[in-house]
Structure 1
């Protein structure tokens, strides 16, 4: 991964083709979507979140096995081979959306064509060549995966991606391997699993550390799986981490605003029930001075203090910026190299005098507009109106 984020691989291995042709009614989700914390705990159940972070996170692997037919049916429904038939009609491309591969003599052999993906050819490679189909970032198209992953992004505060691997029975798509700095594996049933991990090396870019210049080795050589000698790998990684620590020593500005903006402009938009509508048009009552309001989508907003971008010279003043992900493009999520990737974060700008009022909105469940800490009633109304126009507050 090229960003600091969390990734999940959904693997369907050894599932008979006839079974995957069956289009069953979507089972009721056994996961708890009441909050990001509730979802994560339902994913790792029966392990508690506190136990996970205390005993497993960045310490040792965790294997969870559950014999629950409803859970198995639910995860089986998240993505099936037959889903690719409709997706291919939408315009899928080899390399960008789909990879086809086989493990030959212990090595991965890529069987991609240099064209748009056609389902009949894809199915032929799957059935006759016994090839594995890898589908990139299915949350772009599958609503339930979108629903899961945007909540996990709220929980981890980092990007959460996924890949689907569909392998014919008695076949192998990839040689034995492991992901860098893997935290835990959730075994769902059989050979389906989610793999979550937190890469370390991408942090270097945030703090202007250049491993290839300082240590004399290309960045990719810091991945442990590419170094045969464990002692050499440990020495290289330790050296890199010491260098990173030296760079951070005494640094006051950790570029937290840039990191927050990078995350907020790249993450998934909030999940909403698809009726063709979007979150770009405010609804509900128009806010007035006597209105009581409530902040919406708090998990999808960041507030930063930055130098005013519209001024220059020695008199630049500090402003409060509110960024949000409500109108991010779901179909571009985690698709690196896309023109959308470096799009400017969406949001609002306020003078620093609005900071206390904004903090009130953040910390209050419900608050009256006239109680906001601003000098005039007009400022209070204008602040709430600006947030309402961006769909960030609602009138109660």
Structure 2
């Protein structure tokens, strides 16, 4: 075998590569009432900007004025568990460099041309440094200390086993006891599924935060630990793009042709329906596997191997063109109807009472064509809900407690200051109706949302009916609210490497300083 081997094949039956496979469900728990990119983020009050704030003051949430120091008080917490990692084999210089180093030696262009959403990719590495680094990300031996942090069945850990082609859940009630967990692992041959380990492991936090910047989509993870001669889950497919990193031991995998290409939901498939594997292989420490959503798969730990540990990194759930259209079309219809009287005409009398509405399809087709024409002639397309869902639930920057992004530093921005946007990947601009105005006619405002104050502890863990929510740790929306007249100036800052405050496209120096001070207080710009 070569030093680094990639096993590549397309989908015709019988094209399996050497060795076996099987694996557990890769679906990350999603925030309740939301989805991984296409969900609806709950709107909560965010910082409001008055026309002329007092010098040195920053608008507080709800439109009131508060001191800068109080508004941005640091809340840096030590991670619950971070063990020393081996020297990283990944490049954290940028999101692009991180992804390139993750799939190495495959080139980025080749990956997206030949594999992404198309077929699996197996990268087998005979590299002790990569294997040691992967092993440091998460190990079976880490569970004892993690259980002391207050883990709960269902929320943090699932215990399961595949029996006669079905998933058997072996969870107990309440808090996880390590001795009981180890007993189920050893005696019942149960698989341990650990949800969202990036909450505890800083190296995974770093990896997933960079991948969220790279993909512009939420990135979750699960760790699966399976004893020898056992299988955790039956053959199934997921609704996420999957990257598998083998951390400890070996795992025997089998992949099958999708019955639903690029599936939008998780589903178990019976053995008699899936046919023969298209790919079969063994993953060893340091190996990487990618496969698209909809790929049917199963995995087991071979006899003679004490256990297998792998981490599944998942992304692109509900992040398709269909999801984007569902998000964007309501705003497009609303805006177009202001200008096009055809969209404002009444539907036929008693249309809503009819069983068969086939007669109106021609009219709907005509209106959709008018919408398409309007879209081609428009400068911007609203898609605020998907944007807000992503920015609200993604990981904050991983800078460590010695470099707290929540506290602004350096000089205050003045009219002659040169400023630069920072944390570009962690902030978005949207235009939407004023959330704080209850009047029937709500004027449009500019909102700047950011993820700098998001909580690592709640990443991908939901917002309702769980312990995190009960403890008051549910994710909130953070950002600023401006009059629509500030939009061009904000675009200036976002599109320029640097800009002088006095050059901002606003009518008065007071507005220019107000904008700069507001962004500086949220740590979104730095003064050069």
Indicate the residue corresponding to 1:106 in structure 2. 165
Number of equivalenced pairs: 342
Q: 2:458 aligns with which of 332, 342, 367?
A: 332
Q: 1:346 aligns with which of 478, 481, 488?
A: 478
1:183 offset after TM fit, Å? 6.3
Question: Are 2:409 and 1:283 aligned?
Answer: yes
Question: Are 2:36 and 1:4 aligned?
Answer: yes
Mapping of residues 1-396 of structure 1, within 5 Å: 1=27, 2=30, 3-4=35-36, 26-180=85-239, 182=241, 189-190=283-284, 192=310, 194=312, 196=314, 198-200=316-318, 207=326, 250=371, 256-275=383-402, 278-313=404-439, 315-338=441-464, 339=469, 344-396=476-528
1:34 offset after TM fit, Å? 1.0
Q: Is the 8 A contact 1:63 1:187 kept in 2?
A: no
Q: Is the 8 A contact 1:294 1:395 kept in 2?
A: yes
Indicate the residue corresponding to 1:13 in structure 2. none
Over residues 229-266 of structure 1, what are the superposed CA-to-partner deviations in whole Å (9 max), with x where a residue is unaligned?
A: xxxxxxxxxxxxxxxxx998747697511110111111
1:382 aligns to what SS in structure 2? helix
Cα distance change on mapping 1:182 and 1:155 into 2, 3 Å? closer
CA distance, structure 2, for counterparts of residue 328 and residue 34 of structure 1: 22
1:181 offset after TM fit, Å? 6.2
Q: Is the 8 A contact 2:242 2:312 kept in 1?
A: no
Cα distance change on mapping 1:82 and 1:49 into 2, 3 Å? same
Q: Is the 8 A contact 2:405 2:523 kept in 1?
A: yes
Cα distance change on mapping 1:122 and 1:162 into 2, 3 Å? same
CA distance, structure 2, for counterparts of residue 196 and residue 115 of structure 1: 27
Cα distance change on mapping 1:5 and 1:201 into 2, 3 Å? closer
CA distance, structure 1, for counterparts of residue 382 and residue 508 of structure 2: 34
**Quick one: higher RCO (CA 8 Å, sep 6+), 1 or 2?**
2
Between 262-271 and 339-348, report the one with greater CA deviation.
339-348
Gaps of 5+ in 1: 7-22, 209-245
Over residues 29-72 of structure 1, what are the superposed CA-to-partner deviations in whole Å (9 max), with x where a residue is unaligned?
A: 11111111111111111122222112222222222222211111
Over residues 307-338 of structure 1, what are the superposed CA-to-partner deviations in whole Å (9 max), with x where a residue is unaligned?
A: 22233446532211100011111111111253
1:82 aligns to what SS in structure 2? helix
Cα distance change on mapping 1:181 and 1:273 into 2, 3 Å? closer
Report the structure number with the largest CA radius of gyration.
Answer: 2
Cα distance change on mapping 1:143 and 1:331 into 2, 3 Å? same
RMSD between aligned residues: 3.0
**TM-score in terms of structure 2 length:** 0.59
Over residues 147-189 of structure 1, what are the superposed CA-to-partner deviations in whole Å (9 max), with x where a residue is unaligned?
A: 1001111111111000001112333222333334656666785
- Stretches of 4+ aligned residues off by more than 6 angstroms: 246-249
Q: Is the 8 A contact 2:220 2:313 kept in 1?
A: no
CA distance, structure 2, for counterparts of residue 269 and residue 54 of structure 1: 30
